[in-house]
């Protein structure tokens, strides 16, 4: 059984927004219950997931390059993911 995707939204959520999220397979939870990451900061991203979630090293490097963020080519995934997760999101 696959893990259900969660969207953390400020309540009340409009019926239109609920329908949109549910059609995409999200379970809706009030943003006040959004978990914190290891640094004590809320996770980023509208769906409660960090921008680096599920990405491979090459994908993270590509996104960092698109954003013009310098990185060490030999860096490990965790370091690259942190750079991407902390980068301003468009």
Task: Give residue-wise pLDDT tens across range 37-47.
Answer: 544 445 444 55
Cβ neighbourhood burial of 52 (10 Å; 0-12, 13-18, 19+): buried
Higher pLDDT, 44 or 55: 55
Higher pLDDT, 32 or 83: 83
Decide: 69 and 77 in contact? Cβ < 8 Å.
no
Residue 70 has pLDDT above 90, yes or no: yes
- pLDDT level of residue 61 (50, 70, 90 thresholds): very high
* Mean pLDDT of the region 16-21: 90
Higher pLDDT, 38 or 25: 25
Higher pLDDT, 40 or 4: 4
Helix/strand/coil for 84: helix
Cβ neighbors of 73 (< 8 A, separation 6 or more) are: 61
């Amino acid at each position: 059984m696959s893990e259900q995707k969660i969207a953390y939204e400020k309540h009340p959520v409009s019926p239109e927004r609920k329908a949109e999220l549910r059609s995409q397979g999200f379970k809706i939870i009030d943003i006040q219950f959004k978990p914190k990451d290891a640094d004590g900061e809320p996770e980023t991203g509208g769906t409660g997931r960090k921008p680096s979630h599920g990405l491979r090293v090459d994908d993270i490097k590509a996104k960092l390059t698109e954003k013009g963020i310098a990185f060490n080519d030999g860096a490990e995934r965790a370091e690259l993911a942190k750079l991407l997760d902390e980068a301003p999101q468009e």
